[in-house]
Amino acid sequence: MSVAIVMPACLDEAGLAATVEDFLATMEDAEHCVIIVADHTGPGPRDEPGDGSGGERGGGRMAERLAARFPGRVRVAYQTPGAERGSAVRTGVAFALECTHAERIFLIDPDARFGAHRLPEIIREAGRERADVVVGYRLRLGGALFGR
């Protein structure tokens, strides 16, 4: 199964690298597994490798580093500086539709509060239910993972 994961960086890259690495490891066996990071800031001056900077441009530099580190598996979709989160989502989904052959597209925040380990289960359940859309939300303590 080919999967595209859209992560709108939205000026928050605190957990971006760890989240991307977690999803790449979880989806290692997926065909054409591509993580797409939609970034508010667009391309800009590159940092020197290993200079420790990052975060100043809202995820753009970190996204570029991740794309360089995982060529073909991490791609960056840029959008106009100052755009809102909804625009980042639309940019990322449009990029996934135009530039990948993904059978499933997932929208995931960089903090990935549900954890990458849940993604295979979500994919299986979506297939079993023949779902066109799966909406994730934070569970209350003791709540079920799947519901209608």
Q: What is the pLDDT along the chain (148 residues), one digit of tens a residue?
A: 788 888 887 556 667 888 888 889 888 777 666 777 765 544 444 433 433 434 444 567 788 888 899 988 899 888 776 777 788 888 889 999 998 888 888 888 777 677 788 888 888 888 899 888 777 666 666 556 566 5
Cβ within 8 Å of residue 4, ≥6 positions away: 34, 35, 36, 96, 100, 102, 104, 105, 106
Residue 70 amino acid letter: F
Contact between residue 36 and residue 7 where contact means Cβ atoms under 8 Å apart:
yes
Calpha distance 79→18 (Å, rounded) = 23
DSSP 8-72: E-TT--TTHHHHHHHHHHHTTTSEEEEEEEEESS-S-PPPPTTS---STTTTHHHHHHHHHHSTT
